[in-house]
Amino acid sequence: MKQRIAEKFQTLFHTEGDFYASAGRINLIGEHTDYNGGFVFPGAIDKIMLAEIKLNGTAKVRAFALDLDEYCEFGLNEEDAPAQAWARYIFGVCREIQKRGGVVGGFDTVFAGDVPLGAGMSSSAALESTFANALNELFNLGIDKFELARIGQSTEHNYCGVKCGIMDQFASIFGKAGHLMRLDCRSMEFEYFPFDPEQYGYKLVLLNSCVKHELVGSPYNDRRASCERVAKVLGQDFLRGATMDQLEAIKDQISEEDYLRARYVIGEEKRVLDVCEALGKGDYETVGARMYETHWGMSKDYEVSCEELDFLATVAQECGVTGSRIMGGGFGGCTINLVKAELYDAFIEKAKASFAEKYGHEPVVIPVVISDGARRLA
């Protein structure tokens, strides 16, 4: 990929630039907890967006998306916003830096990536983080890492129409090889936790169902509203910190649906903390057990799964896989699976064959390794 980028850069711009990369991400556990003020537990992975960049001394950005074979040129004022969706990510990063007082000039770039699209691994956050980190360094802006993550988040909000949380950009910026990160979405405090499943005889793999269900209405907003209603009855701003005893005490004051949504979220907060404690002991069996609990909680209580993802989780259980669950918001996408090395081949073979027999296509197998986030490459 680097060679292909370099060749295209030389062809277009007749020079050489510097290489910068940032990573896609997984989230081991902690879904739908971010907007409840809770914890998430992501890590950067070995699938990246990679860009060659060189300042050009003008007020124009000249960008080429190698994977799409598309070129775009744009200025750096608000009225210069490009039409191409991919270019708006780069433009948005430039504009968000400028809004924070950073002086950004023109540059030339060619970029590509191997973060699977539509698999819930945040290729957009990887792209934003690549350019935020690169421009911060190339223009000597001195922006701290948290603000770089917020620049990516603001780009999504203001230029790409996605009201995302901070987890994806945080993971792409702060990612550290061999470590997951527990992020407190209320205080923004975080801590690294060693995560090396291969050392303990496990592999981490995603199975992409290649399914995305379009649902009528606003399922994410509906679930968020449920959580907010329960928190209000509890006298809290968020569900964060609520207990099952507290929830049971108000059960007759809330709807059955709101009760189930809150039961999932309160349980998920505890599961994240349980997994952190288990990893400290090298106890991957407990990690896997909590992953299954999360999956079925998302399926039955939060109702954000789908038939295909439940099928993959069931196949995992039947094959003796240590842990499996939906990764991401739900309604399609991937399962994330923690598999003993000796069971890996048989599990993959069974999952592909049985899924294809039932749904007419195989799931896409995506092995992942926890790696570094935003960085300059030699």
Instruction: Report whether 182 contacts 276 (CB < 8 A).
Output: yes
Average pLDDT in the chain? 94
Q: Are residues 173 and 291 in the same domain?
A: no
Tell me the residue type at 237: D
Q: Decide if 8 contacts 110 (C-beta within 8 A).
A: yes
Residues 204 and 288 in one domain: yes
Pair (48, 73) in one structural domain: yes
**Number of domains composing the chain:** 2
Residue 153 has pLDDT above 50, yes or no: yes
Based on the fold, state whether residues 66 and 136 are members of the same structural domain. Answer: yes
* Shared-domain flag, residues 187 and 216: no
Dihedral angle over CA of 100, 103, 104, 105, nearest 10: 160
Domain co-membership, 257 together with 340 = yes
Give CA–CA dist 266/226, Å, rounded: 13
Question: What pLDDT, in 10s, does the model give residues 170-202?
Answer: 999 999 999 999 999 999 999 999 999 999 999
3-state secondary structure of 345: helix
Q: How far apart are the first and last CA of the chain?
A: 14
Distance CA 183, CA 194 (A): 14
pLDDT score, position 122? 85
Residue 202 and residue 190 share a domain: no
Whether residue 202 is found in the same domain as residue 157: no
CATH of residue 280's domain is 3.30.70.890
Tokens 């945040």 belong to residue = 122
Shared domain check, 157 and 44: yes
Q: Residue 216 pLDDT more than 50?
A: no
Question: What's the pLDDT score for residue 213?
Answer: 66
Instruction: Please name every residue paired with 40 in a beta bridge, in sequence order, or none if there are none.
Output: 183
Do 35 and 183 lie in one domain? The reply is: yes
Q: Which amino acid is at 260?
A: L
Residue 181 sits in a domain whose CATH number is 3.30.230.10
Does residue 319 surpass a pLDDT of 70?
Answer: yes
Which tens digits make up the pLDDT trace of 256-272? 999 999 999 999 999 99
The distance of Cα 325 from the centroid of its chain, to the nearest Å, equals 15
State mean pLDDT over 320-330: 92
The residues near 267 (Cβ < 8 Å, ≥ 6 apart) are 244, 293, 297
Token pair belonging to 149: 């993550």
Q: Are residues 156 and 224 in the same domain?
A: no
Apex CA 331: angle with CA 350 and CA 23, to 5°?
80
| Catalytic residue selected from 34, 108, 168, 258 | 168
Domain ranges, residue 210: 197-367
Whether the predicted pLDDT of 292 surpasses 60: yes
Stretch among 15-19, 70-74, 304-308 having the lowest mean pLDDT = 304-308
- Identify whether residues 25 and 156 lie together within a single domain: yes
Q: Is 168 a known active-site residue?
A: yes
pTM for the whole thing? 0.88
The pLDDT of residue 328: 81
